[in-house]
Structure formats: structure tokens, C-alpha cells
């Protein structure tokens, strides 16, 4: 069958459909290899290949059709039970998918891909053993392209092709044997929109928000009316807030957008290194701004490759150490307030801290005073590598430097934890979007500046008890470590008189923390961030700017750039932080919090926040473990999730309230269950507070903890 008329248009439609189907086919082949063959999965894979073959023939792409036909025959062997879904078979099938993915755009542009198609077909048909050239040629000559009887349920006309494209866009492909009327094109639930239009929409919403603030100021200054007391102004505020939220959602895409490529990278690298790896993804539906996700793609690729090359042992080594011969590499994503946390963990050998310390020292870093936790952060420095040899995968100390650079670009931070013999975890924390940022406003030398809140770990008035000096420089206690203090005015290079007793803001960059003295804390609000434009030179301390209600410019500071500039001005600039032993010990009697959550990422994030705030933190993975921990030593507060194995948060709270010595122990629930019924049940069983994870941030958590335990010292 052939197409007349709008051939080019329909070939473009086919290319769009093929891209979606080939991506899905690759994902299903990886699932087939990892999870094993099931009739439903094999049938779905076969249908995808069959539809691609038929659609390619319809639009006249015989080269693509012959490759898809060879793939279909291979999958038919799996479906009939003639072949097992071995790694070698999946290799051949993925080679066909990769070849078709590269071939289709070239066919659309009019290129001749006959040679590539012939080689791919021979590769697929001869997957068990290379076929003689004569056999391959005869197989090629016998490939049906347009008239084979087994194409009866392939797309037979233009309407069917359009229906398939619509299905691919909406995630509900129409059955290939069911022609649909042309009117289906008016029922599409998803449409393609150029990214530039979305960015323009975001810009206009930002302009509207700025104009809204100016109107409120005019009402106050010129008419003497408090804007919040005007019903119409309140209605406008509400509508604009909803509009801004919905506009931001339009830019969001799920983490699952990139997990298929990561799975393929894990599979191929493990195969090439002779390692057995199970790939797991949790939280794939977590959404994030597409621009942020684009910057995350390379760091996550480097982290999973690093996990397999450096972290995961060979099957023989794992068996010798009593481990399952098949390692696990896991990606876990979740939203916590205005941030997204993405972790990559493996159960391999862990990071050799002594080797990192030795390599960093060899390259000139001062490591003698650093703790093991601080040394781990040195793996992000360019040139630092623990690989014994240089290979195509690693050994040059570049991969993790790329992670740091890309995360720095989106104003995020990286944390790393490792246990010898048990594995490693790399955690990336980034803002959900860079278009609108919650910011802390500060005053410096009579000017206002904005600091992104996701980088702020502590903001407090001058507190002599928390501050100290070592080697002639000021420090502030954060938990049980100290952080150097710099004047933000000096760091920004602003002349003028300075205060020595202003508030201190502690911020976290990609791998470092630093404190800055400011004149005043002015509050927190969302800031619509705009780029500074190509006419202004790139400034390392500025992330962007925003227009204030009075028309003035509010500069948004870039935290990693600030930290780097301040660090280079300090003596011993290579040190990440100062060890606690360098100054007097802080006051004893820290209050204790037990964090209970079955998700390692959440536990460690909460531990990090609470320890920085000065609390002693213990952890448990479920309610049963929590009760055992409390039996050993009581806590001053329990922070618990609800959904956990063995004993959930409701059961844990009930058990605490029924225990004679724990009955008055404050319990704070932090969960993703947001329904009013769950909230009420939590309060009914005795919880003292209830926080939903989607609205969680550091400030709200510490405020809730303070409310239950009293003002922190």
C-alpha cells in the first residue's frame, strides 16, 4: 500500500509515533530481561514491533519495515517459547531499536539507509550465531514489505496512522486493527506546544505578579487604603496565585522522562563489565521543572555509571563477601516542599575514604584536619579519582566534577554517604523550578538582596553563645560543627560602614556551608527570577534579578558563587569546614529526637536538618524498631511517617500513648497522606502535630518541633 498526497506530513507523523513506540519498546525489553518473560509483556512487545513494521510500510519506509520485521520474527520466537529472553537476545533486539531510532529521522529527510537496514536485519536474524553473507542476502530478499498477509492488523490507512500518533501522545495507543474516524483529532487530550511559548507564558505571569504588587503599593501610598482590606484586591491576589501555580505546573515533567535512558545505561555498562545489576526506580512520577531536569540528566547518568564501575563488585567478589551476586542500583525521587530530592544508591563496596584522602592530598588539598564525612565531598573535585586505571568509563576524575558543576548551575546541593562494604548514596537536592523561587530577603548597606530559601539552613539574630573564633576568624556553631562567617557586604564588594552584630544567615552550596553577616532579615516571599541578559557579563555571585513593586531591581544572589568567593578570602581556603575540636565545646544537654521513616532518603534529610539545628537525632525504619530504640533510651520527641512495614505511624503513636513512661512523649507526624480523614485519625490516636510532606520545608519542620518542645537554646 502507498500514500498519495501529503506524504511528507504523514511521514513526520510516523516519525513522531515511532519515537514514542521505540522508546516504549526499549523500556519493555529491559523489563523483559530483568523481570522475566510473561505472556502479557511479550505480547505487548510484539505488538509494538508489529505496529512499527506496518506503519513504516504504509508511509513507504521499506528499510525501517524490514528491520522491524526481523525484530518481530525474533519476538515471535520468544512468544512461541522457541527462545529464552537471554541477555544475548535482548542485545540483538536493543540493537534493532537503537538502529531504528537513528534511522527514522534520516529516512524522513530522504536519506538512503539500505546498507544500515541490511546490516541491522542480519544482526537481528543471526543473533545466536553470525549468518553467512549468502544466507543474510537470501533472508533480505525474502522480506515482505507491503503485501505480507501478517500485516492485516497494521495501520491500513491515513486515519489509522493519525490515531496511532494521537495514542502515542496521550499514552493510550489505539488498537492497530480498529480504524477510527477522522473526528478523533478533535478529541485529543494532549497537544504539543513549543517550549518558547511556555517560557513566554511564565514571563507574562511574572509580570502580572509584579504589577499586582505595584497596585497594592499604590493603594497604600496614594489612597491610604490597606490593599488587603479591599475585597477586589484579595480576589485578584487569589486568582493570580492560582494562575502562577498552574503555569508552573505546565512546565513540570516527571522524573520518569529520563529513567529509561538511565536503565539502559545501567544495563549496557553492567554487561560490558561482567557485573549483574538490578535497576530499581521509586518515585518516578515525581514532577520537576523541565529546565531543572535537563540539568539533572548528565549528573544522574554519571552517578549511575559511577555506581556500577566503582561501587558494584563482580558476582564472584560479592559471593565471597556473602552478598547476593546481583547488585542493586536504585534511583529514588521525592518532593519535599519546594525541593525535589533525587538519590542514587548502590549496595556495593562503598567509597574508600583513605584512598580519597590520599588522592586529594597528592593534588594539593589540605586533608589532615578533615573528618571522613568532609573527605567524601572531595570526590566532587576535578581530578580526584580512586580508579586504579584509566578507562572509557572512569579514571580521570571528571565524572563527579560534572555532577558538581551541573547541580551548581541549578542552585542545588549534593550530599554523599558511604558505608564500607555496604554501599554508597549520593543525594541531589534541587528546587522544583527556577522560574519562581521562595527567597529570604536581607538588607546589606542600605540595599535589599534575595537569597534562595532552599539554600538557607539557618537564619538568626546575633547570638554570642553560638559564635566563636578560631585562628583569628569568626565561626558559628551549626549542630556540632562550626561554619566560618563572612560579611556579605565585604563578599559583594560594597563600600560603607558595617555592623559587627547583625544577624547571621547560614547557607549550603553544592558541597560547602558558609555563614554571612547581614544588617537585617526582611522576611520571606516568592520571587519571579529573570536572567540578567547577554549584555551583562556573567557574575559569579548573582543568579538573576526581579522587579520590585516600586520599580527597583532586586538582585537574587547565587549561593555557590558567594561561598566560593568568601572561601577564597579566608586563610586555609581548601578546608571545607572547621573541625569541632578547634574551638570550645558547645553546651551539653542537647535534646533528642527520634526520626521514624522507612525511606532512607527522608530519614537522612530530616536527620540533616535537625542536627544542623542542634538536636541529637536517632533513626528507626519502622514503628517496631522505634519502640526498641525508645526502650533503650527515651527521646524528647518522635517524628514519624505513617506508611511503614510491621508497625505504621498510627500504631506507633497508639503504643507510645499506651506506655506508662512514654505517654507524654510528643509525637509529630510527617507524611504524604494529605486527606482530612488521615489527619483526623492521626490526631485521634494521640499525635501532637501533623505535617504533609508536599508542604514540608525546613522552616515549617523546625517551627513545629519548637512548638512541641519549647524554644531551642
Round to whole Å and give the CA distance between 225 and 32. 67
Q: Is residue 2 part of a domain?
A: no
Chain centroid to CA 352: how far? 26
173 and 275, same domain (yes or no):
no
Q: Torsion angle, CA of 390/396/398/400, rounded to 10 degrees? A: 70
Q: Torsion angle, CA of 538/539/544/549, rounded to 10 degrees? A: -120
Q: Is the pLDDT of residue 402 over 50?
A: yes
In the chain, how many domains are there?
A: 5
pLDDT tier at 320 (50, 70, 90 boundaries)? very high
Domain edge (last residue) among 140, 164, 187: 187
pLDDT reported for residue 344: 92
Q: What angle do CA 677, 680, 683 make, to 5 degrees?
A: 150
259 and 394, same domain (yes or no):
yes
Lowest mean pLDDT among 35-49, 161-175, 613-627, 671-685: 161-175
Round to whole Å and give the CA distance between 341 and 323. 28
Neighbours of 364 (CB within 10 A): 8
Query: What CA–CA distances, in Å, run from 69 to 52, 146, 163?
Result: 9, 11, 22
40 and 170, same domain (yes or no):
yes
101 and 221, same domain (yes or no):
no
pLDDT tier at 595 (50, 70, 90 boundaries)? very high
Q: Is the pLDDT of residue 577 over 80?
A: no
Q: Is the pLDDT of residue 117 over 70?
A: yes
Give the relative orientation of helices 7-35 and 256-273 as an angle to the nearest 10 degrees: 60
In three-state form (DSSP H/G/I as H, E/B as E, the rest C), the secondary structure along 104-163 is HHHHHCCCCCHHHHHHHHHHHHCCCCCCCHHHHHHHHHCCCCCCCHHHCCCCCCHHHHHH
Q: pLDDT higher for 437 or 281?
A: 281
31 in Cβ contact with 44 (< 8 Å): no
CATH of the domain at 302: 3.30.565.10
Instruction: Give the DSSP H or E segment for 19.
Output: helix 7-35
| Mean pLDDT, range 403-414, rounded to an integer | 79
Q: Is residue 146 part of a domain?
A: yes
Q: Is the pLDDT of residue 588 over 70?
A: no
Q: pLDDT higher for 76 or 131?
A: 76
Q: Is the pLDDT of residue 571 over 70?
A: no
Q: Is the pLDDT of residue 449 over 90?
A: yes
pLDDT reported for residue 189: 61
Q: Is residue 671 part of a domain?
A: yes
pLDDT tier at 313 (50, 70, 90 boundaries)? very high
Helix (H, G, I), strand (E, B) or coil at 626: helix
User: How does pLDDT run across 92-104, given as a tens digit for each residue?
Assistant: 888 888 888 888 8
Round to whole Å and give the CA distance between 239 and 231. 12
Cell 530522504 locates to 110
Closest C-alpha to 478, from 450, 463, 458, 497? 458
pLDDT tier at 364 (50, 70, 90 boundaries)? low
146 and 229, same domain (yes or no):
no
Chain centroid to CA 82: how far? 41
Q: Exposed, middle or buried, 122 (CB in 10 Å: 0-12/13-18/19+)?
A: buried
| Mean pLDDT, range 386-392, rounded to an integer | 48
Neighbours of 176 (CB within 10 A): 21
> Given the DSSP bridges, would you call strands 520-528 and 553-557 parallel, antiparallel or unpaired?
unpaired
Cell 496512522 locates to 161
Q: Give the DSSP per-residue string, 164-196.
A: HHHHHHHT-PPPTT----GGGGGG-S-----HH
Cell 497596585 locates to 215
Instruction: Give the DSSP H or E segment for 54.
Output: helix 39-58
Q: How large is the C-alpha radius of gyration of the chain?
A: 29
pLDDT more than 70, % of the chain: 77
314 and 398, same domain (yes or no):
yes
| Ranges assigned E (strand) in 657-706 | 667-671, 689-692
Residue span of the structural domain in which 241 resides: 195-250
Q: Is the pLDDT of residue 376 over 70?
A: yes
Q: pLDDT higher for 511 or 635?
A: 635
pLDDT reported for residue 336: 75
| Ranges assigned E (strand) in 529-609 | 542-547, 553-557, 592-596
Q: Is the pLDDT of residue 289 over 50?
A: yes
Q: Is residue 115 part of a domain?
A: yes
Helix (H, G, I), strand (E, B) or coil at 656: helix
Round to whole Å and give the CA distance between 161 and 21. 13
Q: Is the pLDDT of residue 593 over 90?
A: yes
Q: Is the pLDDT of residue 664 over 70?
A: yes
Closest C-alpha to 262, from 192, 194, 333? 333
Neighbours of 250 (CB within 10 A): 12
Q: Is the pLDDT of residue 639 over 90?
A: yes
Q: Is the pLDDT of residue 536 over 70?
A: no
| Cell numbers describing residue 403 | 555532577
Round to whole Å and give the CA distance between 528 and 212. 13
pLDDT more than 90, % of the chain: 10
382 and 474, same domain (yes or no):
no
Neighbours of 676 (CB within 10 A): 7
416 and 268, same domain (yes or no):
yes
Query: What CA–CA distances, in Å, run from 227 to 213, 232, 444?
Result: 10, 9, 28
CATH of the domain at 45: 1.20.120.160
418 and 545, same domain (yes or no):
no
User: How does pLDDT run across 184-214, given as a tens digit for each residue?
Assistant: 333 446 666 777 787 778 778 777 877 787 7
Q: Is the pLDDT of residue 6 over 50?
A: no
Q: pLDDT higher for 136 or 289?
A: 289
Q: pLDDT higher for 8 or 215?
A: 215
Highest mean pLDDT among 287-296, 505-514, 588-597: 287-296
| Cell numbers describing residue 57 | 510500510
Helix (H, G, I), strand (E, B) or coil at 571: coil
Q: Is residue 699 part of a domain?
A: yes
> What region, left, alpha or beta, does residue 572 occupy, with left being phi > 0 and alpha being psi -120 to 50 degrees?
left
Residues 6+ apart with CB under 8 A from 219: 225, 226, 227, 230, 233
| Cell numbers describing residue 193 | 506546544
Helix (H, G, I), strand (E, B) or coil at 72: helix
Residues 6+ apart with CB under 8 A from 297: 258, 261
pLDDT reported for residue 132: 38
Q: Is residue 413 part of a domain?
A: yes
Highest mean pLDDT among 30-44, 66-80, 266-280, 331-345: 266-280
| Prediction pTM value | 0.55
64 and 96, same domain (yes or no):
yes
pLDDT reported for residue 106: 86
Long-range contact list for 199-207, CB < 8 A, 24+ apart? 201/247, 201/250, 202/247, 202/248, 202/251, 202/435, 203/530, 205/240, 205/243, 205/244, 205/247, 205/528, 206/435, 206/436, 206/528, 206/530
pLDDT reported for residue 442: 93
Q: Is residue 236 part of a domain?
A: yes
**DSSP secondary structure letter of residue 578:** B
Q: Is the pLDDT of residue 127 over 50?
A: yes
Domain edge (last residue) among 403, 431, 459: 431
Domain edge (last residue) among 187, 206, 236: 187
Q: Is the pLDDT of residue 7 over 80?
A: no
Q: pLDDT higher for 251 or 682?
A: 682
Beta bridge partners of 193: none
**DSSP secondary structure letter of residue 483:** E
Q: Is the pLDDT of residue 450 over 80?
A: yes
CATH of the domain at 564: 2.30.30.40
In three-state form (DSSP H/G/I as H, E/B as E, the rest C), the secondary structure along 343-374 is EEEECCCCCCHHHHHHHHHHCCCCCCCCCHHH
Query: What CA–CA distances, in Å, run from 377 to 278, 304, 481?
Result: 27, 17, 16
Instruction: Give the DSSP H or E segment for 625.
Output: helix 623-632
Residues 6+ apart with CB under 8 A from 145: 57, 62, 65, 66
Q: Exposed, middle or buried, 229 (CB in 10 Å: 0-12/13-18/19+)?
A: exposed
User: How does pLDDT run across 223-261, given as a tens digit for each residue?
Assistant: 888 888 888 888 888 888 788 778 777 878 889 888 888
Query: What CA–CA distances, in Å, run from 371 to 21, 299, 378?
Result: 50, 25, 11
> Given the DSSP bridges, would you call strands 616-620 and 637-640 parallel, antiparallel or unpaired?
unpaired
Q: Is the pLDDT of residue 580 over 60?
A: no
28 and 153, same domain (yes or no):
yes
pLDDT reported for residue 537: 53
pLDDT tier at 543 (50, 70, 90 boundaries)? confident
360 in Cβ contact with 369 (< 8 Å): no
In the predicted model, what is the mean pLDDT of the chain? 76
Lowest mean pLDDT among 60-69, 111-120, 320-329, 394-403: 394-403
Closest C-alpha to 529, from 452, 612, 476? 452
Cell 556579605 locates to 488
Round to whole Å and give the CA distance between 578 and 132. 68
pLDDT reported for residue 465: 64
Q: Is the pLDDT of residue 16 over 90?
A: no
Closest C-alpha to 18, from 117, 90, 104? 104
| Cell numbers describing residue 422 | 555496604
Q: Is the pLDDT of residue 304 over 70?
A: yes
| Cell numbers describing residue 269 | 555498562
426 and 564, same domain (yes or no):
no
**DSSP secondary structure letter of residue 311:** I
pLDDT tier at 347 (50, 70, 90 boundaries)? very high
pLDDT reported for residue 439: 87
| Mean pLDDT, range 678-691, rounded to an integer | 88
Round to whole Å and give the CA distance between 121 and 100. 11
Closest C-alpha to 160, from 44, 7, 13, 49? 13
Q: Is residue 1 part of a domain?
A: no
pLDDT reported for residue 464: 65
Amino acid at each position: 500500500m502507498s500514500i498519495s498526497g501529503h506524504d511528507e506530513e504523514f511521514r513526520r507523523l510516523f516519525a513522531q509515533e515511532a519515537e514514542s513506540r521505540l522508546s516504549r519498546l526499549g523500556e519493555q525489553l529491559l523489563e523483559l530481561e530483568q523481570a522475566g518473560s510473561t505472556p502479557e509483556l511479550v505480547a505487548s512487545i510484539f505488538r509494538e514491533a508489529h505496529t512499527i513494521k506496518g506503519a513504516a510500510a504504509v508511509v513507504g519506509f521499506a528499510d525501517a519495515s524490514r528491520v522491524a520485521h526481523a525484530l518481530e520474527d525474533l519476538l515471535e520466537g520468544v512468544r512461541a517459547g522457541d527462545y529464552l529472553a537471554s541477555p544475548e537476545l535482548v542485545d540483538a533486539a536493543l540493537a534493532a531499536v537503537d538502529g531504528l531510532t537513528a534511522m527514522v529521522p534520516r529516512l524522513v529527510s530522504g536519506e538512503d539507509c539500505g546498507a544500515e537496514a541490511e546490516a541491522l536485519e542480519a544482526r537481528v536474524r543471526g543473533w545466536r550465531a553470525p549468518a553467512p553473507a549468502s544466507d543474510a542476502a537470501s533472508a533480505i530478499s525474502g522480506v515482505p514489505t507491503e503485501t505480507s498477509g501478517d500485516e492485516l492488523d497494521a495501520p491500513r490507512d491515513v486515519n489509522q496512522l493519525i490515531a496511532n500518533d494521537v495514542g502515542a501522545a496521550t499514552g493510550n495507543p489505539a488498537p492497530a486493527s480498529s480504524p477510527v474516524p477522522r473526528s478523533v483529532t478533535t478529541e485529543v487530550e494532549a497537544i504539543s506546544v513549543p517550549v518558547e511559548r511556555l517560557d513566554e507564558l511564565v514571563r507574562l505571569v511574572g509580570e502580572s505578579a509584579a504589577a499586582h504588587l505595584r497596585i497594592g503599593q499604590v493603594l497604600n501610598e496614594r489612597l491610604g487604603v490597606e490593599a488587603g482590606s479591599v475585597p477586589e484586591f484579595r480576589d485578584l491576589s487569589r486568582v493570580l496565585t492560582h494562575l502562577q501555580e498552574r503555569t508552573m505546573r505546565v512546565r513540570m515533567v516527571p522524573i520518569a522522562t529520563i529513567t529509561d535512558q538511565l536503565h539502559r545505561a545501567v544495563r549496557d555498562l553492567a554487561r560490558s563489565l561482567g557485573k549483574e545489576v538490578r535497576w530499581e526506580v521509586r518515585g518516578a512520577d515525581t514532577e520537576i521543572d523541565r529546565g531543572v531536569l535537563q540539568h539533572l540528566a548528565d549528573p544522574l547518568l554519571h552517578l549511575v555509571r559511577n555506581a556500577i564501575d566503582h561501587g558494584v563488585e563482580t558476582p564472584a567478589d560479592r559471593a565471597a563477601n556473602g552478598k547476593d551476586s546481583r547488585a542493586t542500583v536504585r534511583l529514588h525521587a521525592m518532593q519535599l516542599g519546594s525541593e525535589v530530592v533525587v538519590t542514587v544508591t548502590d549496595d556495593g563496596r562503598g567509597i574508600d575514604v583513605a584512598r580519597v584522602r590520599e588522592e586529594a592530598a597528592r593534588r594539593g588539598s589540605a586533608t589532615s584536619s578533615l573528618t571522613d564525612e568532609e573527605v567524601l565531598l572531595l570526590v566532587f573535585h576535578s581530578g580526584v579519582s580512586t580508579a586504579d586505571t584509566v578507562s572509557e568509563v572512569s579514571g580521570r576524575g571528571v565524572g563527579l566534577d560534572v555532577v558538581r558543576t551541573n547541580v551548581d548551575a541549578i542552585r542545588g546541593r549534593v550530599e554523599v554517604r558511604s558505608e564500607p562494604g555496604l554501599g554508597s548514596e549520593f543525594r541531589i537536592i534541587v528546587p522544583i523550578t527556577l522560574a519562581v523561587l521562595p527567597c529570604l530577603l536581607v538588607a546589606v548597606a542600605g540595599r535589599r538582596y534575595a537569597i534562595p530559601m532552599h539554600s538557607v539552613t539557618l537564619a538568626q539574630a546575633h547570638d554570642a553563645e553560638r559564635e566563636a573564633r578560631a585562628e583569628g576568624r569568626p565561626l558559628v556553631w551549626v549542630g556540632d560543627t562550626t561554619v566560618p562567617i563572612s560579611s556579605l557586604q565585604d563578599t559583594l564588594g560594597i563600600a560603607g560602614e558595617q555592623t559587627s552584630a547583625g544577624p547571621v544567615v547560614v547557607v549550603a552550596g553544592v558541597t560547602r556551608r558558609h555563614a554571612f553577616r547581614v544588617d537585617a532579615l526582611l522576611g520571606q516571599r516568592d520571587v519571579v527570577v529573570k536572567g540578567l541578559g547577554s549584555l551583562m557579563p556573567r557574575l559569579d555571585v548573582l543568579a538573576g534579578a526581579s522587579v520590585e513593586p516600586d520599580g527597583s531591581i532586586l538582585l537574587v544572589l547565587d549561593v555557590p558563587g558567594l561561598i566560593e568567593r568568601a572561601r577564597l578570602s579566608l586563610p586555609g581556603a581548601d578546608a571545607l569546614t572547621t573541625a569541632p575540636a578547634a574551638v570550645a565545646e558547645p553546651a551539653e544537654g542537647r535534646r533528642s529526637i527520634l526520626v521514624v521513616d522507612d525511606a532512607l532518603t527522608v530519614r537522612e534529610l530530616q536527620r540533616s536538618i535537625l542536627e544542623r539545628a542542634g538536636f541529637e537525632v536517632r533513626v528507626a525504619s519502622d514503628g517496631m524498631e522505634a519502640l526498641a530504640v525508645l526502650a533503650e533510651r527515651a527521646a524528647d520527641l518522635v517524628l514519624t511517617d505513617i506508611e511503614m512495614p510491621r508497625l505504621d505511624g498510627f500504631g506507633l503513636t497508639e503504643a507510645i500513648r499506651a506506655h506508662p513512661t512514654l505517654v507524654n512523649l510528643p509525637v509529630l507526624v510527617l507524611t504524604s497522606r494529605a486527606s482530612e480523614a488521615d489527619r483526623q485519625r492521626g490526631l485521634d490516636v494521640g499525635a501532637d502535630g501533623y505535617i504533609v510532606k508536599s508542604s514540608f520545608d525546613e522552616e515549617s519542620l523546625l517551627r513545629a518541633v519548637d512548638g512541641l518542645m519549647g524554644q531551642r537554646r
